[in-house]
Each structure stands twice: as C-alpha cells, then as structure tokens.
Amino acid sequence: MYHEFHPNILREYDIRGVVDETLTESDSKALGHLLGLKLRGNRVVNVGYDGRNSSVKIKNALISGLIETGAYVKEIGLGPTPMLYFSCYKNEAELGIMVTGSHNPKNHNGFKIVMNNKPFFGLDILNLQNEAADYFINQAEGNFEKYNVKNIYSNFLKDSFNIDKIQNIAWDSGNGAAGEIIKTITSYLNGSQNLLFCEIDGNFPNHHPDPSEEKNLKDLKKSVLKNKCDFGIAFDGDGDRIGIVDNLGRTVPGDLILLLLAEDVLKSNKNASIIADVKCSQVVFERITDFGGKAIISKTGHSNIKLNMKKHNAVFAGEMSGHMFFADNYFGFDDALYAAVRFVNMMAKSNRKLSDIINDLPKVFNTPEIRFFCEDEKKFEFIEKLKQKQYDKKKEIIDLDGIRVNSEDGWWLMRASNTQPSLVFRCEAKTRNKLHEIVNDLKKDVEVIDKNIAKQILA
C-alpha cells in the first residue's frame, strides 16, 4: 500500500494539521495502519478524542485502520488527553492514541501518541512518511469495544483532593474536553465553585482554549474579581495545560505555577530532581536549588520532558506553556486536571493569599512568551543563522532547544515552534532598562538575517 502525508503535519512530538486540507480521514486511516503494524505485545490500543467538530470522523477513520491490522481497540470516548494517558496505565495498553487539536484553532486536529506508556515522537513520527510509501497489511481482523475509564479517572481526581479549608475558586474549561470532568469533580468541593464554559463545544464560542494567552483569561479574571475568589484555574482544549489567575485577577505565568508546585513537592521530596523547560525564568532554577532540589533545564515539549523525567528520575516537571508533570504520587505525564487538584491542595495548606505569595517572589522584568509568524519551511533555518551569529560574538549559549543567550543582567530565548508556523521569543532582565537593552541588541542581530521578523520585535 502507498500513502503520502502532507509534510507539515508530521511534527516533533505530535501530528497536527488543518482538517480536510493538510489532514484528512485518509491520513487518519493510514496512520491506523502504520501504528497497528508496530504492535508486538498485547495489541491493545486505547483511543480517545476531544470535543472538536472533526474529532469523531478522524477518530472513526483511525479506528478503522487499526482494526484492519488486527488491533484490539478500546475506545475511551470523549475527554481530555490525560484521561487517555491514564487509561493506558490502567489497562496496560500497548498503544494509546488521542485525537486532538490541543490548543490550536478549531479547524485543526491531530494525534498524540504513546507506545508502552512512553512518548512516540521525534524520528518515530518523522519516519512515518517513509513507512507510508510502501507497506503491507494482512487484513487481520481486530476488534472494537468501549472502555469506560471516565468514571475511574474522575473518581481518582476527586479522591486526590485533600482539603479542610473552604476555598472559593473560579474554573474556566473554555468549552474544551476537560469541562465535563471538571463539573463532576468540583461538585464535591466546599466553598463557592464558579464554573465557566464547561459545555464541550468544538466551536469554542466564548474564547480560544489556550490559557497561555492573556486574552483568553479575560472571563476567568472577571469571575475571580466579581465573586471574590481565592484564585482561578483555566484549561486548554484537551486538558493537558493549566492556567492560573490570582485573587487580584492577575495572570500567574506558567513558570511561576511550576515554581510554586515545585516548592510544595520538595517539602516531602528532599533533594529531588525538578525539571523546567528552557523558556522558564532564571528565578525558577535558582529557587528550586535554594529549596534543596536539583534544578534541570530541558528542551521544550511534553515528550522531551517525559524522557528527561525518566533519565533524571525527576519527581516533578513543568513548562512555561502550562504542562505540569507529577511523578511523586502519579504517573509522570502532563495532566492539567491533576495539577489543578494539587494546586488547590497546596493553597488549602497555606494561610496566605496567592497574590501575597507571588509578590514575595524575586522581582525580575520579562516579556511574555511572544510568537512571531515564520513559515514552517524557514523557521529552523532562521534559528541556525541566529545561533551562528551568537557563537561568532562569543556569547554564553544554551542551544538544546533553539538558542538561549545568558548574560550577567539577564537572558533571551528564540526557538522554532514545533506546533505552529512561528518563532517563540522570551527575554528576562534584572531591571526594566536592561530588558530594553537586551531586546534592542537582539533586534539588531535579527535585522541582519530577516528584516520582516525584526519588525515584529518591539523593543
């Protein structure tokens, strides 16, 4: 058999494209064939899907392809990505596939894949193009059945709450796949639980489901202030990324969410390894060390983080984007719903307001995570040119993911997004003036390489 995938959908740690343009049902069925042919163990494949309008047809085509290879498909139904990961640990599935567009626009969709509870990414995904060019299936008939893990997962989350104190919380599910479960588990909490947009709707009628963007937290902030909440919690489209708003309605950056959770984890895991991605503030790494932990910097991406957790035997990890990974009392995958439970528990133990905790952290000046448009075909080449320019200037460089340039007064990062046609930029400094200086210096370097990209950098 022969199939050709659009080259832009095969990415480093997932498969993602525009439905009926770069990603079709034919792609989905072929993916089912190729992944089904890799099965060597119990041949059990768990399949889940998010609430996007295209997810059911993409899921059905995938399952059709899997069954034709003789796979034993267990459909876990509509829910968040972490429920798919959870299900694979529960029934020891050889393969797990989540149909999801994550936080991308509503006309996008894709797949997140685990094999034997390990990430399927990098060359595993990129090699699918060559494998699809010539493959054979023996039309071995597999089977299909429903696997109702949603109640098991919901009960696990509910039972993980450990709260004596009454807390008033706002919850924004963004009409994403986490909504139904959030509605269920918050019904067991005391205090006032203010729920926003728990109805799963692939049109995302209220706002885009990406809590890492400030504009998408507007409704959550209003709810926190109106209802005098202790804090607010938001989720992305497939429930593996968390956002937090404090009691004053201020966004808590993803790296500071990571830091607060890391400090809590270290209270019962002395000298433990904690991983943060390359986009995180230097404050995160310094504070983890001060609290007795071993701070490790990682390449961005949920698959990279999971591999590094195993490599370093880390008990907790997180990313600027809001992915949080617990391995102390959990399985080590990114689960925003479980992270929310742990955050609620942490705040229940504290006698302080979240705003006061944030205010007491060391003060630095930084940009938010900024994305510049750059075609997929050009973005990696641009990073290589920028990297070489910094080497020529003999800068202090971390190049495990794009390029992070450190100085005595701060740092900047530029990397190519693995999920979008864009470059990701972030800068941090000890003073506001130094922040402007660092950004201006970078802009001059970028102008030499690409004037259009340089115009997007605001000093």
* DSSP state string for 81-145: HHHHHHHHHHHT-SEEEEE--TTS-TTEEEEEEEETTEE--THHHHTHHHHHTS-----B--EEE
Contacts 24+ apart (CB under 8 A), 180-184: 180/78, 180/79, 181/79, 181/80, 181/83, 181/150, 181/153, 181/154, 181/157, 181/239, 181/337, 182/235, 182/337, 184/154, 184/158
Catalytic residue check, 87: no
Helix axes 376-392, 432-449, angle to 10 degrees: 110
Outline where 161-209 has alpha helix (H): 179-186
Written as six digits, the tokens of 24 are 């079709």
Outline where 136-217 has alpha helix (H): 150-160, 179-186
Residue with tokens 């392809």: 65
Of residues 28, 102, 298, 321, which has the active-site annotation?
Answer: 102
Distance CA(72)–CA(370), nearest Å, equals 43
Distance CA(289)–CA(153), nearest Å, equals 34
Residue pair 170/194 in contact by the 8 Å Cβ criterion: yes
What residues pair up with 415 in beta bridges, in sequence order? Answer: 424
**Among all residues, which ones are annotated catalytic?**
102
